């Protein structure tokens, strides 16, 4: 499963199609990634070193990751929405020796100290002090490296509960395309489900996130065309599915919500019959939202739960989900629910989710965090709270770091969020714990009203009643505040830490 094989067999087939219409063939992708790989090697970047990428979604992005992948390098895709200080931390912590940045990022790049990053390359325009990506390729032959070997990603967590953590896994360093390499196994799994090079995959999310990036590259290994949106727009997504006869795609729940908010005529005027399978992940999906999506697109929407750390994975088909609504699926590894005392809990009881097995990883430069993810039995956790039912299906309740403790009672805000998110006049919602002199914390809902909806006391009362209709009283918000928007990254993850900080900054309480 290599680009070279597809470039030889179907050199003119589109490998990358941008939402704007710009494209690159498999022949282009193979040649340009070879040229960049050789250019990096000529500049002294050897196996195991780190190349950082700071760009918006563009055609060059996947050329750069494939260059690193085939060179035995780590590639660190940096969230382009971070501040200069946050980007600096990732560059320093990862030890990146090369940075590929786009002209769009020139402003933030100018605020960085790049004295420890000797190789600097600018794509899609010029950046002061950077070599031109296009000129670099023109002067470099496209012959492959003498010993091409599999590299891999080293990605940083979104930092929704604290400082980003670099997740470092062992480099495969196997020959490029070796079926035993972990980097090849997603593509192999897709092939086992019957997927072929005829597939057209829609990537509507930022490539700096793990799932969009790794799945895009995995589809390339199968010889499939990857349609990349510069940014997610619900109407544009439907138009691209129709125009390119997209057969599969990966979404996050906030994208589903925005698709469902489209006017009926917009939803109906596109032919979506080419869709064979859709998968979603990255954040909890409210039951009502998923029910509506299955009713619209049919029982083709699967779901998985995992993390960059690869400590465990679950999977559930639409058919299974309809009989286990709210579940994220059956674990592929042995799963345990553990209580506060460290003892395993029986089905139906809620606790910290642990997995046996999984692949090896460490949090880069942070042995304490690495150790904290593992208990005394060797089981590992991503820090999520959940339960298993009698059939072995996992249901996630929330992140441990998001739990609200009110009057000594544990409250998981995701439950209230899932209810309020289905209200037709709510565009987005976050539920957090805020200081309460009597109870310690009380439950507050921050609501972004849908377009045209008036934020009024009457609307507050309506939303509180709506929450109480589906939840026990103690789990419901005690108050609602309206906001213009919530701090989410484009992949749907909510930065609750920044929301909580507004209320806890002058308190003697941990801002979780």
Per the model's pLDDT, the better-predicted residue between 259 and 254 turns out to be 259
**What is the arithmetic mean of pLDDT over 450-454?**
92
Measured in degrees and rounded to the nearest 5, phi and psi for residue 239 equal -65, -40
Is pLDDT above 80 for 398?
no
Q: Can you say whether the dihedral through the CA atoms of 155, 159, 161, 163 is positive or negative?
A: positive
pLDDT in tens, 61-74: 999 999 999 999 99
Gap between the Cα atoms of 265 and 275, Å rounded:
19
Measure Cα distances from 72 to 52, 145, 151, 186, 280 in Å: 14, 11, 4, 18, 30
Q: What is the pLDDT of residue 58?
A: 97
First-to-last alpha carbon distance for the chain, in angstroms, is: 43
Assess contact for 88 and 134: CB atoms under 8 A: no
Is pLDDT above 90 for 460?
yes
Q: What is the pLDDT of residue 360?
A: 83
Per the DSSP assignment, residues forming a β-bridge with 482 are: 447
Number of neighbouring beta carbons within 10 Å of residue 180: 11
Query: In the 8-state DSSP scheme, what is residue 505?
Result: T
Residue ranges of alpha helices (H) inside 98-197 are: 106-109, 133-138, 182-192
Number of neighbouring beta carbons within 10 Å of residue 300: 16
Assess contact for 127 and 83: CB atoms under 8 A: no
pLDDT band with cut points at 50, 70 and 90 for residue 303: very high
Q: What is the pLDDT of residue 54?
A: 98
% the chain with pLDDT above 70:
96
pLDDT band with cut points at 50, 70 and 90 for residue 37: very high
Gap between the Cα atoms of 134 and 292, Å rounded:
46
- Average the pLDDT over each of 147-151, 286-290, 373-377 and give the range with the smallest value: 286-290
pLDDT band with cut points at 50, 70 and 90 for residue 284: confident
**What is the arithmetic mean of pLDDT over 249-259?**
90
- Average the pLDDT over each of 151-155, 288-292, 337-341, 405-409 and give the range with the smallest value: 405-409
Assess contact for 375 and 342: CB atoms under 8 A: yes
CATH code reported for the domain at 403-504: 3.30.300.30
Gap between the Cα atoms of 492 and 66, Å rounded:
26
Is pLDDT above 80 for 439?
no
Q: What is the pLDDT of residue 501?
A: 81
> Going by CATH, does the domain composed of 3-160+175-222 fall within 3.30.565.10?
no
Per the DSSP assignment, residues forming a β-bridge with 448 are: 428
**What is the arithmetic mean of pLDDT over 254-270?**
92
Residue 284 half-sphere exposure toward CB, CA atoms < 13 A: 28
Q: What is the pLDDT of residue 171?
A: 94
Gap between the Cα atoms of 63 and 69, Å rounded:
10
Q: What is the pLDDT of residue 512?
A: 35
Is pLDDT above 80 for 420?
yes
pLDDT band with cut points at 50, 70 and 90 for residue 509: very low
- Mean pLDDT over all residues of the chain? 91
Gap between the Cα atoms of 67 and 78, Å rounded:
17
Apex 85 CA angle, 84 and 86, nearest 5: 95
**What is the arithmetic mean of pLDDT over 291-315?**
94
Query: What 3 state SS string does 345-358 have?
Result: CCCCCCEEEEECCC
**What is the arithmetic mean of pLDDT over 286-302?**
94
Per the model's pLDDT, the better-predicted residue between 308 and 61 turns out to be 61
Is pLDDT above 50 for 510?
no
Crossing angle, helix 182-192 and helix 210-222, to 10 degrees?
Answer: 60
Is pLDDT above 70 for 475?
yes
Gap between the Cα atoms of 221 and 22, Å rounded:
21
Fold of 310-401: Luciferase; domain 3 (2.30.38)
Q: What is the pLDDT of residue 270?
A: 97
Q: What is the pLDDT of residue 504?
A: 75
Query: In the 8-state DSSP scheme, what is residue 110?
Result: T
Gap between the Cα atoms of 42 and 25, Å rounded:
26
Q: Locate 32 and state its tokens.
A: 């340009």
Beta strands across the sheet bearing 351-355: 335-338, 351-355, 380-388, 394-399
Measure Cα distances from 322 to 118, 229, 328, 329, 392 in Å: 53, 30, 11, 11, 15
Per the model's pLDDT, the better-predicted residue between 177 and 62 turns out to be 62
Per the model's pLDDT, the better-predicted residue between 162 and 58 turns out to be 58
Domain extents for the chain?
Answer: 3-160+175-222, 310-401, 403-504
Is pLDDT above 90 for 496?
no
Assess contact for 290 and 251: CB atoms under 8 A: no
% the chain with pLDDT above 90:
72
Query: What is the per-residue DSSP string for 82-139?
Result: S-HHHHHHHHHHHT-SEEEEEGGGHHHHTTS--TT--EEEEESS--TT-EEHHHHHHT
pLDDT in tens, 98-141: 999 999 999 999 999 999 999 999 999 999 999 999 999 999 99
pLDDT band with cut points at 50, 70 and 90 for residue 165: confident
Assess contact for 401 and 161: CB atoms under 8 A: yes
């Amino acid at each position: 499963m290599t680009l070279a094989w597809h470039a030889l067999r179907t050199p003119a087939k589109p490998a990358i199609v941008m939402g704007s219409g710009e494209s690159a063939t498999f022949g282009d992708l193979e040649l340009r990634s070879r040229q960049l790989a050789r250019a990096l090697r000529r500049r002294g970047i050897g196996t195991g070193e780190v190349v950082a990428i700071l760009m918006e979604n563009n055609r060059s992005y996947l050329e750069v990751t494939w260059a690193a992948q085939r060179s035995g390098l780590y590639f660190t895709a940096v969230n382009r929405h971070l501040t200069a200080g946050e980007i600096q931390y990732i560059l320093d912590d990862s030890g990146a020796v090369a940075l590929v940045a786009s002209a769009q990022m020139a402003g933030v790049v100018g605020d960085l100290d790049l004295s420890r990053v000797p190789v600097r390359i600018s794509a899609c325009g010029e950046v002061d002090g950077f070599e031109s990506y296009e000129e670099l390729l023109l002067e470099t032959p496209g012959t492959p490296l003498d010993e091409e070997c599999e590299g891999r990603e080293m990605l940083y967590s979104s930092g929704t509960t604290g400082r980003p953590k670099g997740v470092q896994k062992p480099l495969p360093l196997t020959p490029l395309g070796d079926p035993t390499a972990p980097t090849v196994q997603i593509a192999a799994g897709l092939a086992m489900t019957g997927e072929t090079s005829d597939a057209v995959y829609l990537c509507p999310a930022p490539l700096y996130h793990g799932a969009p990036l790794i799945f895009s590259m995995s589809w390339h290994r199968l010889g499939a065309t990857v349609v990349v949106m510069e940014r997610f727009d619900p109407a544009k997504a439907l138009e691209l599915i129709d125009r390119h006869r997209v057969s599969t795609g990966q979404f996050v729940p906030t994208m589903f919500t925005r698709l469902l908010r489209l006017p009926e005529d917009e939803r109906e005027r596109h032919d979506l019959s080419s869709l064979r399978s859709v998968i979603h992940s990255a954040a909890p999906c409210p039951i009502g939202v998923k029910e509506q999506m299955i009713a619209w697109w049919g029982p083709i929407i699967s779901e998985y739960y995992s993390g960059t750390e690869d400590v465990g994975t679950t999977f559930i088909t639409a058919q299974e989900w309809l009989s286990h609504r709210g579940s994220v699926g059956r674990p592929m590894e042995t799963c345990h629910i553990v209580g506060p005392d460290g003892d395993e809990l029986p089905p139906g009881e809620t606790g910290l989710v642990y997995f046996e097995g999984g692949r090896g990883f460490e949090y880069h430069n942070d042995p304490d965090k690495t150790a904290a993810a593992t208990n005394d039995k060797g089981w590992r956790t991503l820090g999520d709270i959940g339960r298993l039912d009698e059939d072995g299906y996992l249901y996630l309740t929330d992140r441990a770091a998001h739990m609200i403790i009110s009057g000594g009672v544990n409250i998981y805000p995701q439950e209230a969020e899932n209810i309020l998110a289905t209200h037709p006049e709510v565009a987005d919602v976050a539920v957090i714990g805020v200081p309460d002199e009597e109870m310690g914390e009380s439950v507050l809902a921050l609501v972004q009203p849908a377009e045209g909806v008036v934020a009024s006391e009457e609307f507050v009362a309506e939303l509180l009643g709506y929450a109480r209709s589906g939840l026990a009283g103690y789990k419901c918000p005690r108050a609602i505040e309206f906001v213009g928007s919530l701090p989410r990254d484009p992949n749907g993850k909510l930065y609750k830490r920044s929301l909580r900080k507004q209320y806890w900054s002058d308190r003697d309480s941990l801002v979780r």
